[in-house]
Amino acid sequence: MLALTSLLALATGCTGSAGAPAVGPTAGAETTTDELCPADLPGLAARSAGIRGGGALVLTTNREHVYELRHRMRRFAEEHRDAAGERARTALERGETAEDAAVIDASMVRVVEVPRGARLEVRPRNVERVGALRSELRSDARDLSAGVCPLALTIGR
């Protein structure tokens, strides 16, 4: 979806490969880009917004697709949290301190319901990344409004 891969890479310092499924550490289920990216939803409108300490992507759609849009955004946020937890566990297994592992989980992502859609809020822990994050969100909003998912949605595996 978004250059959500880029968005999260920006916020968390992780990268992914295009076209690969994101694999959640729980239940072993795979989530593909098509399952998370809302660009295919009829009536999708996307815009970026600045929020305190970060940026947001505000997505709205036709009434009959609101549930699906919110569901996809919640899944995305869950995938992000799962990936962050996995990175922290890996860091601890390598003998890094808990403090080092906490730095790896470098952003907070949450979904807020808005009329006819959802707002995906991203706040990097490193405030120096806020400007770049907001710029990426503006680009992502343009792409999504055009019906395009700029990069495969892989969440830092």
The residue range of the domain holding 92 is: 4-20+44-145
Determine, yes or no, domain membership for 74: yes
The domain tally of the chain equals: 1
Cα 121 from Cα 23, distance rounded (Å): 22
Reply yes or no on whether the pLDDT at 75 is more than 50: yes
Q: What integer pLDDT is reported at residue 68 of this predicted model? A: 96
Determine, yes or no, domain membership for 31: no
Determine, yes or no, domain membership for 58: yes
DSSP 3-state of 44: coil
Determine, yes or no, domain membership for 52: yes
- Are 69 and 59 spatial neighbours (Cβ–Cβ below 8 Å)? yes
Q: In the predicted model, what is the mean pLDDT of residues 24-37?
A: 52
Q: What integer pLDDT is reported at residue 21 of this predicted model? A: 34
Among the listed residues 107, 93, 86, the one whose alpha carbon sits nearest the alpha carbon of residue 7: 107
Is residue 149 very low, low, confident or very high in pLDDT (cuts 50, 70, 90)? confident
Determine, yes or no, domain membership for 104: yes
pTM, rounded to two decimals: 0.70
Structural element, H or E, at residue 86: helix 66-93
